[in-house]
Amino acid sequence: MVSKAYLLERPPPPFKAKRFMDQRVVPLLIDAAGAVEGRLEELAVAARRAPLCSFGLAVAVGFVLKRLFEGAGAKR
């Protein structure tokens, strides 16, 4: 059985690094993910209007990402 003293004990505060991550970094990443999701939704709507343009944009983005990751792999 758990004693009253254990239940009334105050837990130690989190480390400063964890508090920084929880209060600054995680919300920033969530906001960035939401912004990316919004842009993807806008692109999906635009793709319904101009599918060829959207396809060209997707190919261009894929090409740029491929070049970036190939360059990063060569530096290792």
Helical spans, DSSP H, in the chain:
4-8, 16-20, 26-49, 51-74
Compute the distance between CA of residue 46 and CA of residue 38 in angstroms, rounded to an integer: 12
Residue 25, SS3 per DSSP: helix
Q: Are 58 and 44 in contact (CB under 8 A)?
A: no
Compute the distance between CA of residue 58 and CA of residue 41 in angstroms, rounded to an integer: 14
pLDDT score, position 15: 94
Report pTM: 0.52
Residue 55 pLDDT level (bands cut at 50, 70, 90) = confident
